[in-house]
Amino acid sequence: MPFQLDPQLVKDCHLLLQWPQCHILLHRNAIIPWFILVPQTDYADLLEMPADQREAVLNEAASLAKMIQQRWNLKKINVAQLGNVVPQMHLHVIGRSPTDPCWPQPIWGNLPEETLDYSVTEVQEIRASCSLLNPH
Amino acid sequence: MPFQLDPQLVKDCHLLLQWPQCHILLHRNAIIPWFILVPQTDYADLLEMPADQREAVLNEAASLAKMIQQRWNLKKINVAQLGNVVPQMHLHVIGRSPTDPCWPQPIWGNLPEETLDYSVTEVQEIRASCSLLNPH
């Protein structure tokens, strides 16, 4: 069966593009630069993956992190692979700043109730920034 | 200056042992099997590390994850590198189960107020389990 993204992730995110290892998703809540990488794998947890595959996934995450740091002019990146709610493996890569509304807490459960979506232009620009990256 | 563990991590955790890349710490709150790996590095974020060093750290995390799965008889592992409060890079490796008190939320901010510490014997046993592992 071809790989299919989890419907909850599709609902929560803008689909940006596909890299060799991962689908790159942008969470719709624009209050925080929050990206989700979905590796095309049946493994449920990052630490279960074979080392070479895990490394390839993390190279893509590292490329994305640099783009986030540049575009949003911030230094701090949070990275996490939880998957307690959505079982399909996905890696959160999140740009953080002392001026963001959840700092210093993790974002889960601490985002403001009001959400702010990206404009169509912003999504296009972010997709273009990602497509310029060479994650390997 | 020799590498020193952040005092907050030392306060929150039992120091178990030192592997080639990381100090292995066990969070005192025994409600959830929550380990913290502190790589001996000046990098603040996992995704900034050189790939080979990052891979060595994650190999240690993966060894630890297997031990957690076996000892606590659970499948799910959460892994995260945040560092918004304690800037010294540290990697959370946490065994999760649908029967734990925070499931399915992440543990941060969702742990019950009452804490349960490990006994001296339990810490010794967990340290012994770790020392038997070969993370590389």
What is the extent of the structural domain holding A71?
A: 7-132
Does A99 fall in a domain?
A: yes
Residue B115's pLDDT is what? 80
Residue B136's pLDDT is what? 67
Least confident of A43-47, A59-63, B30-34, B131-135: B131-135
Instruction: Answer yes or no: do A77 and B51 touch at CB < 8 A.
Output: no
Shortest Cα distance from A79 to chain B (angstroms)? 5
**For residues A45-70, average pLDDT:** 97
Does B62 fall in a domain?
A: yes
Residue A136's pLDDT is what? 66
Does B51 fall in a domain?
A: yes
Residue A2's pLDDT is what? 83
**Which candidate from B59, B80, B105 shows the least CB-CB separation from A109?**
B105
**Which candidate from B79, B85, B104 shows the least CB-CB separation from A80?**
B79
Residue B113's pLDDT is what? 82
Q: What does each of the 136 residues of chain B score in pLDDT, given as a tens digit? A: 789 999 999 999 999 999 999 999 999 999 999 999 999 999 999 999 999 999 999 999 999 999 999 999 999 999 999 999 999 999 999 999 999 999 999 999 999 888 889 999 999 999 999 999 877 6
Q: Which residue has the tokens 């066990």?
A: B26
Does A22 fall in a domain?
A: yes
Does B2 fall in a domain?
A: no
Is the per-residue pLDDT at A60 higher than 70?
A: yes
Does B1 fall in a domain?
A: no
Three-class secondary structure assignment of A70-91: HHCCCCEEEEEECCCCCCCCCE
- We report the CATH number of the domain holding residue A27 as 3.30.428.10
Four-point Cα dihedral A113, A118, A119, A122, nearest 10? 160
Please count the CA atoms within 13 angstroms of the CA of B120 that sit on its side-chain side.
0
B60-90 exposure pattern, b = at least 16 Cβ within 10 A, e = fewer: bbbbbbebbbeeeebebbbbbbbbbebebbb
Does A53 fall in a domain?
A: yes
Is the per-residue pLDDT at A34 higher than 80?
A: yes
Instruction: Answer yes or no: do A103 and B84 touch at CB < 8 A.
Output: yes
Q: Cα A96 to the chain's mean position, in Å?
A: 13
Residues of B near A (CB-CB distance < 8 A)? 44-48, 51, 54-55, 58-59, 61-62, 65, 75-85, 93, 96, 103-106, 108-110
**Which candidate from A47, A51, A110 shows the least CB-CB separation from B65?**
A47
* Cβ–Cβ pairs < 8 A, chains A and B: 102
Interstrand relation of B76-81 and A34-39 (parallel, antiparallel or unpaired): unpaired
Instruction: Answer yes or no: do B82 and A106 touch at CB < 8 A.
Output: yes
Q: What is the ipTM of this complex?
A: 0.95
Residue in B66, B79, B85, B133 to test binding to A, most A beta-carbons within 10 Å? B79
The SS3 call for residue A5 is coil
Domain count, chain B: 1
Instruction: Answer yes or no: do A109 and B104 touch at CB < 8 A.
Output: no
Interstrand relation of A22-27 and B91-96 (parallel, antiparallel or unpaired): unpaired
Average pLDDT over chain A, rounded to an integer: 95
Does A15 fall in a domain?
A: yes
Instruction: Answer yes or no: do B105 and A105 touch at CB < 8 A.
Output: no
Q: Which residues of A touch B80 (CB under 8 A)?
A: 78-82, 106
Instruction: Answer yes or no: do B47 and A105 touch at CB < 8 A.
Output: no
User: What global pTM score does this model have?
Assistant: 0.96
**Residue range A64-84, pLDDT digits in tens:** 999 999 999 999 999 999 999
